[in-house]
Structure 1
């Protein structure tokens, strides 16, 4: 297997192969999240849109690999895994930490002279230039668990199981370190359309912080405020998916794919969110 194909297999999970898709959507999870979080999204969008869910190291089938604790290195790896997938329009969707990763991967594609993403969808994350003094990665394990409970993004049964916590907390702490120490480059801007989803009562993102994504692209931006907190997209998934589908279909009016250059082998679904 060529080295590039091996890198794709390592980083990308494809739950519903769609060889005749009009576009691909790369999905990037929140801190502590994994590829399987997007299994329902993949099912809902196939076969028109093929979803490629990124699997970060340190969880699920990559649980024995050390987690990566900085955004730049994570973005570099993801960019490398995706760079040959250019046979049809490619969009990015990221939630929370994944939103920043999507932004950084899009910048890398732009800098490398590759086609810009057809669209960047960001969810549950303030704009890259909006910082808060958050230090969750310095907290004790118990306080990190309390933080996860407050955000309602992790299954309660997992947080009550000591063996599961021992397995997942190192990756969660690493992810929090990555996003809390991230700083954007003010001299770089995207040139693609950006749609911003945010929860009306998200304690981690204000409406103004979400609206500030418009400062990070020369393309059009669209802000959608939905009922709910940080994980609003779980309860409002139908609305989010409908918006994503509409934007991608509008971006590919003919639905004609280009010649395929790379393939991804489907992987089994994991259980950790």
Structure 2
């Protein structure tokens, strides 16, 4: 009998929402049950205040994740960039809450949790802020070129960036789950050495994998990533 595929809980990167991952669910042929997690301040939760602290976000989101995968004996968590540190802290919080079943943690496009960023965007004026974020991410969403949309979207993006730039890990105690660190082979923001720093967060198996593309490889070629995750 073929085992049911594990649900993949997906955490957004800075400025994005669950809609990015909902599109993955509509892509045929990969067989990965994608479970997007929405953050406040965007899409259907636009009216809610965005998180400003990773620890607070993890404490709030972990019970939500437990609800989303209720009934699944095993599940995996995936997060890219800001989503990587959110995923890591949610994994820690789920363990603290005694929620079993986390079978794999995928951290993407991120240095290890102890490595901060020297160049910061927090506190800059709007145009300089967007320029700096574009340098970090390697892309600029067209919505930020529309003044009315920019005004709507900037608060959540600013909150996400500040949350990421001010992040400090909640603990140095390793997890006991398998961890895979993923990176675009041409990522100019996160080096291979930095991506491998995630080895230190677990007593369990660790793997490092490069996929074609730059920092936003998961947006440019989602099917490549989804097929790789499906093989796991």
TM-score clears 0.5? yes
1:44 aligns with 2:27: yes
CA–CA separation in structure 1 for the residues paired with 2:35 and 2:61:
11
> Is the 8 Å Cα contact of residues 121 and 133 (structure 2) preserved in structure 1?
no
Instruction: Summarize the alignment of residues 186-225 of structure 1 with structure 2, pairs less than 5 Å apart.
Output: 186-225=171-210
For residues 24 and 180 of structure 2, what CA distance do their matches in structure 1 show? Answer: 17
How far apart, CA to CA, are the structure 2 residues paired with 1:202 and 1:118? 27
Separation of aligned partners in 2, 1:29 and 1:82 = 13
1:96 alignment counterpart? 81
The alignment status of 1:146 with 2:131, answered yes or no, reads yes
SS at match of 2:106: strand
Separation in structure 1 between the aligned mates of residue 202 and residue 40 of structure 2, nearest angstrom? 29
> How far apart, CA to CA, are the structure 1 residues paired with 2:90 and 2:145?
35
- Structure 1 unpaired stretches of 5+: 1-19, 248-273
Instruction: Choose which of 141, 160, 169 in structure 2 pairs with 1:155.
Output: 141
C-alpha contact 1:123 1:197 (8 A) present in aligned 2: yes
| Cα contact 1:199–1:230 (8 A) shared by 2 | yes
- What is the deviation of 1:112? 2.1
**CA–CA distance in 2 between the matches of 1:103 and 1:126?**
12
**Residues 13-51 of structure 1, C-alpha deviation per residue, up to 9 Å, x if partnerless?**
xxxxxxx95421110010111101112322237894422
Q: Which residue of 2 aligns with 1:72?
A: 55
Higher relative contact order (CA 8 A, sep 6+): 1
Change (3 A) 1:199 1:22: closer
In structure 2, the partner of 1:243 is 228
Greater shift in the superposed pair: 146-155 or 108-117: 146-155
Equivalent of 1:227 in 212, 220, 230: 212
Query: CA offsets per residue over residues 79-115 of structure 1, 9 Å max, x none?
Result: 0112243421111010110011111111111222221
Cα separation, 2, equivalents of 1:220 and 1:137 = 35
User: Larger deviation: 227-236 or 100-109?
Assistant: 227-236
Unaligned residue ranges in structure 2 (runs of 5+): none
Alpha carbon RMSD of aligned pairs, Å? 2.0
What secondary structure is seen at the aligned counterpart in 2 of 1:92?
strand
- CA displacement at 1:227 relative to structure 2: 3.2
Q: Please, which moves more after superposition, 158-167 or 141-150?
A: 141-150
Moved more, 30-39 or 236-245: 236-245
Give runs of aligned pairs for residues 108-127 of structure 1, distance below 5 A.
108-127=93-112
CA-to-aligned-CA distance 1:245-265 (integer Å, 9 cap, x gap)? 121xxxxxxxxxxxxxxxxxx
Counterpart CA distance in 2 for 1:42 and 1:179 is 27
> What is the rounded CA distance, in whole Å, between the counterparts of 2:29 and 2:229 in structure 1?
12
- For residues 198 and 94 of structure 1, what CA distance do their matches in structure 2 show? 12
Indicate the SS of the match to 1:178. Answer: helix
